[in-house]
Structure 1
């Protein structure tokens, strides 16, 4: 076999989830056209790297520092099957002119669907009623869960018009919600095109029945929703977080949930996995999932297809659709 020109540093299990037979065959064909071969490895150290032009990455790949790059003298492209790049994309990559792309766009729909699922569950008090019945209380004890609401006409705050935020906006609009959009990067006309009313963060928190966070991870968004902001939310409102725990002060949220004033549905946490005695496990108005909002079979295949498309575009001299530059990296999780 010729020396590898494309290497996927992806476990066999994840590779099968990401790449269809057709996309796998396409990677082999693209590598052959580039004068080499395609291989999948668990670690970069498992491959001969002298002729590698493209590395496809997954979680846990490790940083592309100077030492690693010295072993990859012909590297031209790093294509990530996920969205988060900060754990391995370094300044050295950009300094050497190596292109970087990722498949985060493939995750927007499943995460938005989970956000919608969470939204409906909180509006209809599903966590409270489910927990009350599971714990053996009387049938009508579930009535203590609080007032149930429909999504039709419900004011729902969307914090951040990210790819996922926009996908979520489309879903809640289709069900008749009244979206309030908080995104200082958008002007009123752009917000109107998304079918949302642009408002300040404080106004959104005061008006919304559900607050869904989809903002980027930036220094200025750390604990964007903190004790003061949570206090602005109306009694009985719910918080949805499928983005990053960075955005919400977890301890402040636990305090509000413990008081029974708010409910929450959360997929991301400060500590993952969190401890067996973590307060989230026992609070009644909380719906939890273990950072799996993007984990659909369809979404994974979409991510793999995006990567294969980007590899093809790069080798054929076409622009990358999902390229990430140095400046964009600073605003990513």
Structure 2
């Protein structure tokens, strides 16, 4: 195969660290990079000229929608390599009809999310955030010591994972190194699935009732919209923790806030619906909420994994080798 012609399409302000100089240099050894500047729009004559010549398009955060019209302007395009997680909001399914292959770096983005989730689980079980606040309020440690005498901690606790996504599976694997019991709810997982060796398969109601920590890892689909509501949250144990690093739309936020305001449960929340809550949202002020601004995924130097994974995939493509992270069309809508 001749060296493929490659272009970029993403927002440089949103993709700092994804393609450091050494990664770009490596990419240039397998491809001819038509322009080092990523396209922020496909409307200009210059952009249309680059599209017409490209065999590989590297997309990322801030990429303009790859609509049928845009894809028809790229008759030589053979591969879209997305240097981020989900592609279903960026790439129109028409790409498959046009014979264009699609791959992505979601596996790389899953690593920091799983790490964040593991830390959240361990901290939540140990009631670290509450202990911090008690210590600040009472430096004598008397009130903190009272909580330390309660049945908290990570020994023989039960963690419930909702969704055997790539992140859910990584979390389950990480938890094998700890003395915890793991439950899993996912209607697509069957008994012969390897994850059944790491987690007990249960229904959602059982998971919510038995878990000391519930962590959400399901994709955003019509069938999962508001899948966690008042009924599910009401089944959680007093003092249990709810963690969401997946999508805000999976949870009935009003029901979650009501449970949190009761003080019955605690939460670590990285995603909300809307993406940025109203300024008067109780999530910002409730003492039993640890709210973060959607940072579980790749941030800072963690983003370098995204670019590196895409470069390795493009190298395989250039050598006519099988791609490791290709997205088959039937899976596109089931992705997170």
Q: Is TM > 0.5 for Structure 1 vs Structure 2?
A: yes
1:287 aligns with 2:284: no
Alignment of 1:1-333 (within 5 A): 5-12=5-12, 16-32=16-32, 37=34, 39-45=36-42, 47=47, 48-49=49-50, 50-133=52-135, 140-142=142-144, 147=150, 149-190=152-193, 193-297=196-300, 299-333=302-336
Number of aligned residue pairs = 327
* CA-CA distance at 1:158 after TM superposition: 1.1
How many angstroms apart in 1 are the aligned matches of 2:53 and 2:195? 50
- SS of equivalent residue, structure 1 residue 211: strand
How many angstroms apart in 2 are the aligned matches of 1:153 and 1:77? 47
The CA deviation string for residues 234-257 of structure 1, in whole angstroms up to 9 with x for no partner, is 111111111111222111110000
Q: Structure 1 pair 112/272, CA: closer, same or farther in 2 (3 Å)?
A: same
* CA-CA distance at 1:71 after TM superposition: 2.9
Partners of 2:14 and 2:62 within 8 A in 1: no
How many angstroms apart in 2 are the aligned matches of 1:148 and 1:265? 20
The CA deviation string for residues 159-211 of structure 1, in whole angstroms up to 9 with x for no partner, is 11211111111222201111111122222342565421111111111111011
How many angstroms apart in 2 are the aligned matches of 1:244 and 1:134? 32
Q: Structure 1 pair 145/332, CA: closer, same or farther in 2 (3 Å)?
A: farther
* CA-CA distance at 1:13 after TM superposition: 5.4
Range with bigger deviation, 202-211 or 60-69: 60-69
Q: Structure 1 pair 68/145, CA: closer, same or farther in 2 (3 Å)?
A: farther
How many angstroms apart in 2 are the aligned matches of 1:192 and 1:319? 25
Q: Structure 1 pair 150/137, CA: closer, same or farther in 2 (3 Å)?
A: closer
Q: Structure 1 pair 268/144, CA: closer, same or farther in 2 (3 Å)?
A: farther
State the TM-score, normalized to the length of structure 1.
0.89
Partners of 1:10 and 1:40 within 8 A in 2: no
The CA deviation string for residues 248-296 of structure 1, in whole angstroms up to 9 with x for no partner, is 2111110000001111101111122222211101111111111011235
How many angstroms apart in 2 are the aligned matches of 1:238 and 1:87? 31
How many angstroms apart in 1 are the aligned matches of 2:137 and 2:271? 25
Range with bigger deviation, 245-254 or 16-25: 16-25
The CA deviation string for residues 302-321 of structure 1, in whole angstroms up to 9 with x for no partner, is 21111011112222222221
Unaligned runs of 5+ in 2: none
How many angstroms apart in 2 are the aligned matches of 1:193 and 1:66? 41
- SS of equivalent residue, structure 2 residue 29: helix
How many angstroms apart in 2 are the aligned matches of 1:272 and 1:137? 37
Partners of 2:15 and 2:61 within 8 A in 1: no
Q: Structure 1 pair 130/271, CA: closer, same or farther in 2 (3 Å)?
A: farther
* CA-CA distance at 1:20 after TM superposition: 4.0
